[in-house]
Amino acid sequence: MDSILVKGNGPLSGQIPIAGAKNACLTLMPAALLSEEPLTLTNAPRLSDIKTMTQLLQSLGAEVTALQDGQVQAMSGHGVNSTHADYDIVRKMRASNLVLGPLLARFGEAEVSLPGGCAIGARPMDLHIHGLEAMGAEIELKDGYLHAKVPGGLKGAKIELAFASVGATENIVMAATLAKGTTVLKNAAREPEIVDLCDCLRRMGAQIEGDGSPTITIQGVDRLNGATHPVVTDRIELGTYMLAPAICGGEVELLGGRIDLVASFCEKLDAAGISVSETKNGLTVARKNGRVNAVDVTTEPFPGFPTDLQAQMMALLCTAEGTSVLEEKIFENRFMHAPELTRMGANIEVHGGTATVHGVEQLKGAPVMATDLRASVSLILAGLAAEGETLVSRVYHLDRGYEQVVRKFSGVGAHIERITS
Ligand code: EPZ
């Protein structure tokens, strides 16, 4: 297993290009199952999760070709000859469950393994099931698989989600594009990745409005066409790299950064004493002066503070002036980076979904272990600010969501290298 060695750093400067969004791509790729014609995604990120989704679609018989070094994913739902999404693939990546809605819509049946829990939580699918059953699907759990069928075809329905689940919104919207009649989805997730999916589905001929608001209305159509769609910028990668100059000092420009994708995150950076300004190529971030201020953070569905940036923000707040309280409201177990940061001298108390971070003057480098995707990069950020060397192990977590990490950080002056075991 590879590790990443980070040395404490002085101020950073330069530019970091931001890739296409992993979490948009992981719902856009299954959308190809909705059409016989090819769907081409440009600006796709080159990540192991995208490779996993490619394997899954290919296991169903879809053709998926990675062009231009993976930045273009050309897919076709034409050759699909199976509706069985195997546990072996699904257990590696929860987003595999996003083939459920498209398979039901196009083929009237699906057999999708339950993903099982992951490091950050149980990750149930009750909201997905509730929505699809409202549209006429019969879904039974057997041998760890969801066996779904809809003999008479999906019908439009009025659905209200108990929680604004991103995945449930995506599965229901994709299913509704080919249902007979109109579907009104209330308390829908409002993430930019949802809007990007709906933009792509509209290019394919779907009739959708209200995405980005709590109520999405989908008018079912008989078939969808192929399309070419650019994947939206990755707001989580963007926020992650914005924290590098915030933690180390200096000034870095994030190419392709869009302030509308990270508005609530920027409010917290501003309160912490970090300046963010828009440029013609993206966003520039600089630390104003001295130590950052402590700030309180509560994670919420978009447009609130993103749970996927909580671990990274905690790394910044470890050396803030004062005490910060972070409340994780989305997942039940998303503070596994805290004990690793404590090994670096951070002073963090975790009680249930609340972490209290007492800022310290200086973190100290140490060997630490990545436990999940976002925790892994928060340890690298902490290592950039620490005195001495930090060795982050199990970086396969990192490869799921961050392409060319060493190159991007070293491009702005960080002393970082990957050690292949
Ligand atoms: C998506 O996961 C993202 N993944 C996650 O990013 C992100 O953290 C999450 O949305 C929240 O923003 C992808 O888009 C591939 P949810 P998803 O359904 O769809 C509970 C990363 O680091 N819930 O909004 O699975 C669930 O247990 C990953 O890139 C139910 O109870 O998130 C969780 O507590 C991590 N029943 C909460 O809702 C359900 O049927 C949010 O889940 C569905 C969800």
Task: Output b/e per residue, 43-69; b: 16+ Cβ within 10 A.
Answer: bbbebbbbbbbbbbbebbebebebeee
Catalytic positions, please? 118
Q: Tell me how far apart the alpha carbons of residues 59 and 112 are, in angstroms, rounded to a whole number.
A: 12
Predicted local distance difference test score (pLDDT) of residue 117: 65
Q: Indicate if 216 and 271 belong to the same structural domain.
A: no
Candidates 45, 28, 37; CA nearest to 98 is 28
Q: Indicate if 214 and 245 belong to the same structural domain.
A: no
Q: Tell me how far apart the alpha carbons of residues 265 and 263 are, in angstroms, rounded to a whole number.
A: 5
Q: Indicate if 215 and 184 belong to the same structural domain.
A: yes
Domain-terminating residue out of 186, 215, 230: 230
Joined together, the tokens standing for residue 194 give: 């949802």
What residues make up the domain containing 135? 22-230
Q: Beta partners for 283? A: 254, 278
Q: Indicate if 246 and 225 belong to the same structural domain.
A: no
pLDDT in tens, the chain (421 residues): 899 999 987 899 999 999 999 999 999 999 999 999 999 999 999 999 999 999 999 999 999 999 988 889 899 888 999 999 999 999 889 999 999 999 999 999 999 998 876 777 777 899 999 999 999 999 999 999 999 999 889 999 999 999 999 999 999 999 999 999 999 999 999 999 999 999 999 999 999 999 999 999 999 999 999 999 999 999 999 999 999 999 999 999 999 999 999 999 999 999 999 999 999 999 999 996 678 999 999 999 999 999 999 999 999 999 999 999 999 999 988 999 999 999 999 999 999 999 999 999 999 999 999 999 999 999 999 999 999 999 999 999 999 999 999 999 999 999 999 999 8
Three-state DSSP class for 64?
strand
DSSP code of 393?
E
Contact 239, 245 (CB under 8 A): no
- Pocket-testing residue among 312, 330, 336, 378, ligand 1, by greatest number of atoms within 8 A of Cβ: 330
Ramachandran angles phi, psi of 360, nearest 5°: -120, 160
Domain-terminating residue out of 230, 264, 290: 230
| Torsion, Cα of 197, 203, 208, 209 (10° steps) | 90
Q: Indicate if 149 and 246 belong to the same structural domain.
A: no
Q: Indicate if 237 and 220 belong to the same structural domain.
A: no
In the block, tokens 């075809």 appear at 153
Laid out side by side, the sheet with 12-17 consists of 12-17, 250-255, 282-287, 274-279
Angle in degrees, CA 301, 140, 145, rounded to 5: 75
Q: Indicate if 413 and 271 belong to the same structural domain.
A: yes
Domain count of the fold of the chain: 2
C-beta 353 within 6 A of ligand 1 = no
Query: What CATH number did the domain enclosing 203 receive?
Result: 3.65.10.10
Q: Tell me how far apart the alpha carbons of residues 307 and 302 are, in angstroms, rounded to a whole number.
A: 9
Predicted local distance difference test score (pLDDT) of residue 403: 93
Q: Indicate if 237 and 124 belong to the same structural domain.
A: no
Joined together, the tokens standing for residue 241 give: 């790299």
Q: Indicate if 134 and 247 belong to the same structural domain.
A: no
Q: Indicate if 285 and 210 belong to the same structural domain.
A: no
Atom of ligand 1 nearest to the CA of 123: 27
Q: Indicate if 224 and 150 belong to the same structural domain.
A: yes
Domain-terminating residue out of 200, 230, 260: 230
Q: Indicate if 250 and 169 belong to the same structural domain.
A: no
Q: Tell me how far apart the alpha carbons of residues 79 and 93 are, in angstroms, rounded to a whole number.
A: 23
Q: Beta partners for 369? A: 393
C-beta 278 within 6 A of ligand 1 = no
